[in-house]
Amino acid sequence: MPTPIVETRSLTYRYGDFLAVKDLSFHIEPGEVFGLLGPNGAGKSTTISMLTCLLPPTSGSAVIAGLDVARSAAEVKQLIGVVPQDLALYPTLSARENLRFFGELFGLRGKPLRDRVESVLEYVGMTERANDPIKSYSGGMKRRINLAVGLIHSPRVLFLDEPTVGVDPQSRNHIFESVERLNREEGMTILYTTHYMEEAERLCRRVAIMDRGEIIALNTPRELIAMLGGGILRIGLPQADPAVAQAVQALPQVRSAAFEPDGVSHKAVLKVETRSANPALLEIIQLFNQQGLEILSMETLEPNLESVFLHLTGKSLRA
Amino acid sequence: MNLLAILKNDLRQLTRDIPQLAVLFLMPLAFILPIGFALGGGDGYGLRSDNRRISLPVVSYDSGASAEELRASLEESFMVENWFTAQQIEAAGLAADPDCQTPGPACFERTARRMVGQQQRSALIIIPADFSQRIADGQKTEITLVYDPGGDSTRLMQIEGVLKGAAVKLSVTHSVNAGFDQLQSLSAVAPEEMQTELEDGLNTQPAADQQPAIRLETVQPANYTLKKLPDTFQQTIPGYTVMYVFFLVDYLSGAVRDEKRNGTFKRLLSMPVRPASLLGGKLLAAFVIGMLQVLVMFAIGAAVFGMNLGTQYFALFLLTAALVCAATAIGLAAATVPGLSSGLVPMLIIAALLGGCMFPIDLMPPFLRTLSHLVPHSWALEGFLALIVRGQGLSAVLPQIGVLLAFAAGFFFLAVRRFDFED
Ligand SMILES: Nc1ncnc2c1ncn2[C@@H]1O[C@H](COP(=O)(O)OP(=O)(O)OP(=O)(O)O)[C@@H](O)[C@H]1O
Ligand SMILES: [Mg+2]
């Protein structure tokens, strides 16, 4: 295993009494796209803030390219690029002016600066509108420039905090492609946070699933999904009868069965985790037929990170 | 240099913010220009085209070169009349007057006097017969300005100002000592190059003659005295300049607020920028803007209205710098007070009023006069008046500079202690 380029040991952050990040330990290998997947408030942004020298860890440590983020902040800042979750641009200035300014802060001047500005504009596909003020852009275009600023000094590690929030499909694709190209062509290491599991599945080699400040699973998307085995069934029933849940749970192909807390539809939904979806389905239908129970609806969830999250936490990623 | 990059970035953003630019640079002009034009530029410089509509009879009993020169300089500013038509003489009721039986300066003078009396002209100017001769001989001479004391006083001030200027110019071109006294009041109306010329004249002929070579005699009916030409600009321009320099407080706290709202502060902190450079760059930008404000206001005052800035440029620079430092530091402090933004402008206006920027402090009741020392405006204004109007030097304004710097240091200290780059 190569030396990790990012490594955290028991990284912890406390806002006053509130423990936002608990005891986080993970590493990212050079050239890896690493995903942090988690619902709102999971602590993703707080983790990134510590890794990018914006928040001093309450305890624990983080090392980037051998440099401690707390002790060698100045050196770390030269190596990393940050694309914050909220846009951070000067709205009255053009994309070029924004990029030039941020580039200057990394010590770029003259022709190298100009070349770099043009190349990142090209990277995010914004060369044509580059002289218009940011405030005249669509949300997606702003996001693309937000990304471009993070790339201006060719960082070794790029931190992307939910870069696709509120983005139209076209800009979203642009961002995906930029991330893939950066990783493939420049070997850039990328930490990517999101609550869209399909993004994590598409882009990330490994994904850490975070909830309430903790990593609850960390693996490749494929392995995480394999954890689920046969996928999940959601069965709509006239009422939530615990006896039914017990009976289903007892079936050989069923791992667990429980009624979902459901406040919206006033329907009882039985969530069934299976060892294998099709045989389990047959067993369940057989059981219901025998007992003369009514099934109102039936849904099979394809095995993906979303269902992994549901499995791990009992709640949906985007509640 | 990150500091310079940040300075440049802030200035560039200001150029895109038309409302803010208008507040900082156009608003003070909006106050100064109408007041300035209403009172007229002392010597008519820059206002010539406007004044040409004013008819000014010039009665000359002298046909010499200097009389012509004087007439020519007056023509630059006014519609000079050299004679009246028969109809005008008749209309003045002087057709049968003995003086008017033969056309000549005597009839012209009588008609013009009559017209001034009937409020058809603001004033008339009389050049005596030996005028050119006496100037050539280096002797004293005089010009008479006859005017209607009940007439339009601003117009009169213009005429008197132009006449003074023209007379002194004439004295100078003929190497006659214009006299120190004359120079003092002329400084209010003369453009800079003329002043230097005058000072040179003074230096080469050190105070040999304390009387001006050309004396202006103003003639008016009894019981009326025209006040000495008040140098409106010397009071109005510094007042509004100080007032609007303090609008930097609104600019700077707004710029900090924007930077927080845009999320750019946070982003900058994840870049290799020291927080001190970040703040320093913003403060420097505000400082540069403030210095520019004063420069623009004073330059316009001097160029358009012939406002005299005195000779204490270095002291003026130091005082201005201290003023701008105070405004900048207060701006930074204001940025640390959440929710202040909407209350800021009314506060700035009240402080300006209290500081005497819009009304002279002397007109205020004593307790307000005491209170006015609590706002930095009063100190800055007092300093400017000392340098510009009273012609005092650096040592006279050291207390004001000191107080302004104390304001700057105090607020800066407060601001730095409270400053937070987030929210
Ligand atoms: N400045 C703060 N003061 C107090 N609590 C905070 C602060 N910032 C964040 N928190 C809390 O810390 C927790 C983690 O927040 P964080 O922003 O890291 O979550 P996140 O995973 O990035 O969420 P999201 O997907 O919504 O961006 C949340 O419960 C949040 O309310
Ligand atoms: Mg976040």
Residues A253-295: pLDDT tens digits? 888 888 877 655 567 888 888 888 788 888 999 999 998 888 8
Q: What is the pLDDT of residue B201?
A: 39
Cα separation, A74 vs B379, in Å, equals 43
CB within 8 Å: A92 and B262? no
Q: What is the pLDDT of residue B256?
A: 94
Q: Is residue B252 domain-shared with residue B274, that is, in the same domain?
A: yes
User: pLDDT (tens digit, 9 = 90+) per residue, A164-180?
Assistant: 887 888 888 888 998 99
Q: Is residue B337 domain-shared with residue B313, that is, in the same domain?
A: yes
**Cβ atoms B2, B277 nearer than 8 A:** yes
Q: What's B201's domain CATH number?
A: 3.40.1710
Q: Is A38 in the pocket of ligand 1 (CB under 6 A)?
A: yes
**Cβ atoms A73, A17 nearer than 8 A:** no
Backbone angles phi, psi at A14, to 5 degrees: -125, 125
Which of A58, A52, A55, A1 has its CA nearest to residue A24? A58
Please say which residue of B219, B241, B262 terminates a domain.
B219
**Cβ atoms B289, B15 nearer than 8 A:** no
- Residue B217 pLDDT greater than 50, yes or no: yes
**Cβ atoms B62, B126 nearer than 8 A:** no
User: Has this prediction a pTM greater than 0.80?
Assistant: no
Q: Is residue B81 domain-shared with residue B182, that is, in the same domain?
A: yes
What is the number of structural domains in chain B?
2
User: pLDDT (tens digit, 9 = 90+) per residue, A80-126?
Assistant: 999 998 899 999 999 999 999 999 999 999 999 999 999 999 989 99
Q: Is residue B113 domain-shared with residue B206, that is, in the same domain?
A: yes
Q: Is residue B378 domain-shared with residue B334, that is, in the same domain?
A: yes
* Domains in chain A, CATH or no CATH each: 6-225 (3.40.50.300), 229-302 (3.30.70.260)
**Cβ atoms A92, A36 nearer than 8 A:** no
- Which residues touch A222 (CB under 8 Å, ≥6 apart)? none
Q: What is the pLDDT of residue B172?
A: 66
Tell me, yes or no, whether B75 lies in a domain.
yes
Tell me, yes or no, whether B357 lies in a domain.
yes
Q: Is residue B184 domain-shared with residue B71, that is, in the same domain?
A: yes
User: pLDDT (tens digit, 9 = 90+) per residue, B89-118?
Assistant: 888 888 888 888 888 888 888 888 888 877
Q: What is the DSSP letter of A260?
A: P
- Confirm or reject contact between B390 and chain A (CB < 8 A): no
Q: Is residue B16 domain-shared with residue B161, that is, in the same domain?
A: no
> Residue B398 burial by CB count (10 A; 0-12/13-18/19+): exposed, middle or buried?
middle
Bridge partners (DSSP) of residue A64 are: A6, A67
A36 Cα nearest atom in ligand 1: 21
From A141's Cα to the closest Cα of chain B, the distance in A is 16
Q: What is the pLDDT of residue A1?
A: 65
Cα separation, B117 vs A102, in Å, equals 73
User: pLDDT (tens digit, 9 = 90+) per residue, B235-253?
Assistant: 788 899 999 999 999 999 9
Q: Whose CA is nearest to atom 9 of ligand 1?
A: A46
Bridge partners (DSSP) of residue A14 are: A19
Q: Is residue B75 domain-shared with residue B154, that is, in the same domain?
A: yes
- Residue B153 pLDDT greater than 70, yes or no: no
Please say which residue of B198, B219, B240 terminates a domain.
B219
Tell me, yes or no, whether B398 lies in a domain.
yes
Q: Is residue B267 domain-shared with residue B191, that is, in the same domain?
A: no
Is residue A31 left, alpha or beta, with left meaning phi > 0 and alpha meaning psi from -120 to 50? left
- Confirm or reject contact between B288 and chain A (CB < 8 A): no
B423 Cα to the center of ligand 1, angstroms:
14
Tell me, yes or no, whether B50 lies in a domain.
no
Bridge partners (DSSP) of residue A94 are: A133
Q: Which of A133-142, B41-50, B286-295 has the least mean pLDDT?
A: B41-50
A43 Cα to the center of ligand 1, angstroms:
6
Q: Is A100 in the pocket of ligand 1 (CB under 6 A)?
A: no
Q: Is A15 in the pocket of ligand 1 (CB under 6 A)?
A: yes
- Residue B127 pLDDT greater than 80, yes or no: yes
Structure tokens at A111: 């022709």
Which range of residues forms the domain containing residue B77? 55-219
Q: Whose CA is nearest to atom 25 of ligand 1?
A: A40
Judging contacts by C-beta atoms under 8 Å, the chain B residues touching residue A86 are 263
Tell me, yes or no, whether B240 lies in a domain.
yes
DSSP string covering B164-217 = HHHHHHHHHHTT----HHHHHHHTTTS-HHHHHHHHHHHHHSTTS--S-SEEEE
Dihedral sign for Cα B316, B319, B325, B331, please. negative
Tell me, yes or no, whether B224 lies in a domain.
no
- Residue A77 pLDDT greater than 60, yes or no: yes
Q: Which of B45-49, B197-201, B285-289 has the least mean pLDDT?
A: B45-49
- Confirm or reject contact between A132 and chain B (CB < 8 A): no
A167 Cα to the center of ligand 1, angstroms:
21
Q: Is residue B214 domain-shared with residue B336, that is, in the same domain?
A: no
Q: Is residue B312 domain-shared with residue B354, that is, in the same domain?
A: yes
Of B13, B263, B270, the CB nearest to A77: B270
CB within 8 Å: A54 and B270? yes
The mean per-residue pLDDT over the stretch A2-16 comes to: 93
- Percent of chain B at pLDDT above 70? 79
Which of B321, B331, B283, B328 has its CA nearest to residue B401? B321
Which of A305, A300, A282 has its CA nearest to residue A228? A305
The ipTM of this complex is 0.80
- Which residues touch B371 (CB under 8 Å, ≥6 apart)? B354
The mean per-residue pLDDT over the stretch B113-138 comes to: 83
Which of B403, B402, B21 has its CA nearest to residue B248? B21
Please say which residue of B219, B249, B265 terminates a domain.
B219
Of B325 and B366, more confident: B325
**Cβ atoms B77, B44 nearer than 8 A:** yes
User: pLDDT (tens digit, 9 = 90+) per residue, A132-176?
Assistant: 999 999 988 999 999 999 999 999 999 999 988 878 888 888 889
Of A178 and B48, more confident: A178
Tell me, yes or no, whether B168 lies in a domain.
yes
Q: Which of A12-16, A63-67, A117-121, B111-115 has the least mean pLDDT?
A: B111-115
CB within 8 Å: A106 and B272? yes
Bridge partners (DSSP) of residue B127 are: B60
Q: Is residue B22 domain-shared with residue B102, that is, in the same domain?
A: no
Cα separation, A200 vs A193, in Å, equals 8
Tell me, yes or no, whether B286 lies in a domain.
yes
